[in-house]
Amino acid sequence: MTVDSKGRLYEPLRVQPQGAFSNSQGLTYDLNMWRVVVQRLGPRYALQLGAQSLQLKPLTVPRMVQDSSAWATITPKLSGICGSDLGLLRGSGSPYLAPLISWPVMLGHEIVGTVASSNTPWHRGQRVVVNPTLSCGARGLPPCMECQAGNPDGCWQRHHGGLGPGLLIGFNREIPGGWSAKMWVPVDQLIPVPADLDDRRAVLVEPASIVYQGLTRVDWNRVSTVLIIGAGTIGLLSTWLIATQHPDVLIVQRCRYPHQATVASSVGARRVQVGGSDGEFASSARLDEWVGPVLPKFFGGGPYRPGGFDLVVDSVGTQQSLGQGLSLVRPDGQFLLLGGAGRINLDLAPVWSRRLTVIGTYGYGSPEMPPNTTFQTVVSALHQTAYPIESVVTHTVLLSQFREAFHILGDRTTHAIKVAFQNDLAQ
């Protein structure tokens, strides 16, 4: 038996011996369409099937990096498992962005590591976090229109043949991500972190930067109440950042499990709504004080309420979360989609009948705030905050024991929120 970070016992997955490890391996995943078909037919076992397809394989120095002073060698310390990584492994991700991924991949784009080469402004051993964008600058290309305008997240050349398709490090066949013994990153996409910033906070910089940029797109002059749907990593980081930046705003958080509610309350949620199905939550009388009573349903329609929250943040991105979220925004209110929604069947009547502003968001920056500035701002916020935001990282697992991480994520009794790989392959 093994004890998790909350002191609970669980039986870890027994891992077959992987052989001798060296400092030149990474965790590789390749696309198999037959496997994806099976996963979609049996979603209950999809993550287990995807995780079984991961293999430790030798690293090779990318062609882009060879003899280039623009790329630095990094030794990952912690690398998070993101929802987008899980969507890929489950075979449930949207095919819309598939042209911007090249296979096979060494995943991992939430990274805190140390500098291992001498061609950076910092000494070897300096801890850094990684801006994983693969835009024109990283590819060594003349800047496209978007990159010239200071918006590399909208780069037109992320499919370019030289490096190959790839939105981010970790989704490109040439450039290994953080689930590896070492990796390579453009020098100007490294952000140093203070010596006393805990690794469990530092590994949250990348997802917190996504959230930070999304929140900048909201008109906060029209917001005094917020509902956050979901209490995974993105939902809890949303709570923390809103509580930090807008302390007068009332935050209500929808949590599926009690352990999520505990963390949500500790990082800034004033009220939490726990348990129940999505339909029960949207119709719950506990919401009446903010959104008014539910009117009688008609022919299977969703719950209609006369009022709503000024802002609803959907950090989940499922058909159920979108449906309930749109129904709980007040007329002329705002809806921010942070969850990575794909193909869904959705009633859009609330959008037009209540004149909602629906906000999509992707990436780390804008012409007004470049990505590295966002990362630096988030590093500072994580360094200074009194909220115990590191509690979002509930488990760390040795990279050599990678199958155990997916066992933890698939077992609700472990109470996992964010699981991160600890690099034990570098020597």
pLDDT tens-digit profile of 313-355? 999 999 999 999 999 999 999 999 998 888 888 899 999 999 9
Q: Do residues 262 and 352 share a domain?
A: yes
pLDDT tops 70 at residue 358: yes
Q: Do residues 85 and 154 share a domain?
A: yes
Count Cα atoms within 13 angstroms, Cβ side, for 11: 1
Is residue 231 within 8 Å of 255, Cβ to Cβ?
yes
CATH code at position 149:
3.90.180.10
Nearest to 425 by CA among 230, 220, 242, 178: 178
Q: Do residues 159 and 101 share a domain?
A: yes
Q: Tell me the residue range of the domain where 245 lies.
A: 218-360
Distance (Å, rounded) from C-alpha 318 to C-alpha 178? 27
Task: Please state the separation of Cα 320 from the chain's center in Å.
Answer: 19
Quick one: pLDDT band at residue 279, thresholds 50, 70, 90?
A: confident
DSSP class of residue 120 equals: S
Burial of 249 (0-12, 13-18, 19+ CB in 10 A): middle
Q: Do residues 352 and 251 share a domain?
A: yes
CATH code at position 235:
3.40.50.720
Nearest to 234 by CA among 259, 262, 247, 253: 253
122 within domain boundaries: yes
Q: Do residues 73 and 164 share a domain?
A: yes
Phi-psi region of 300 (alpha: psi -120 to 50; beta: other; left: phi over 0): left
- pLDDT (0 to 100) of residue 427: 66
Q: Do residues 320 and 351 share a domain?
A: yes
Domain boundary among 360, 380, 398: 360
Q: Do residues 30 and 165 share a domain?
A: yes
369 within domain boundaries: no
pLDDT tops 60 at residue 185: yes
367 within domain boundaries: no
377 within domain boundaries: no
Nearest to 335 by CA among 345, 343, 325, 344: 325
Quick one: pLDDT band at residue 7, thresholds 50, 70, 90?
A: very low
Is residue 394 within 8 Å of 410, Cβ to Cβ?
no
Q: Do residues 320 and 399 share a domain?
A: no
Contacts of 114 by beta carbon, 8 Å cutoff, 6+ apart: 74, 75, 77, 124, 125, 126, 127, 128
Q: Would you say how long the chain is, in residues?
A: 427
Q: Do residues 268 and 238 share a domain?
A: yes
Q: Do residues 154 and 177 share a domain?
A: yes
Distance (Å, rounded) from C-alpha 59 to C-alpha 106? 9
Distance (Å, rounded) from C-alpha 353 to C-alpha 267? 34
- pLDDT (0 to 100) of residue 393: 98
370 within domain boundaries: no
pLDDT digits 0-9 by tens, 54-87? 999 999 999 889 888 999 999 999 999 999 999 9
Distance (Å, rounded) from C-alpha 261 to C-alpha 254? 8
Domain boundary among 360, 380, 403: 360
Task: Please state the separation of Cα 386 from the chain's center in Å.
Answer: 22
Task: Please state the separation of Cα 33 from the chain's center in Å.
Answer: 24
Distance (Å, rounded) from C-alpha 2 to C-alpha 286? 38
Mean pLDDT of 377-404: 97
The domain total for the chain is 2
Q: Do residues 175 and 228 share a domain?
A: no
Contacts of 415 by beta carbon, 8 Å cutoff, 6+ apart: 4, 6, 8, 257, 259, 394
Distance (Å, rounded) from C-alpha 227 to C-alpha 306? 16
151 within domain boundaries: yes
Task: Please state the separation of Cα 162 from the chain's center in Å.
Answer: 27
101 within domain boundaries: yes
Distance (Å, rounded) from C-alpha 89 to C-alpha 36? 9
Is residue 78 within 8 Å of 202, Cβ to Cβ?
yes
Domain boundary among 360, 379, 399: 360
Distance (Å, rounded) from C-alpha 424 to C-alpha 426? 6
Q: Which two tokens stand for residue 278?
A: 């999505």
Mean pLDDT of 3-15: 38
427 within domain boundaries: no
Residues of the chain with pLDDT > 90, as a percent, come to 78
Q: Do residues 8 and 123 share a domain?
A: yes
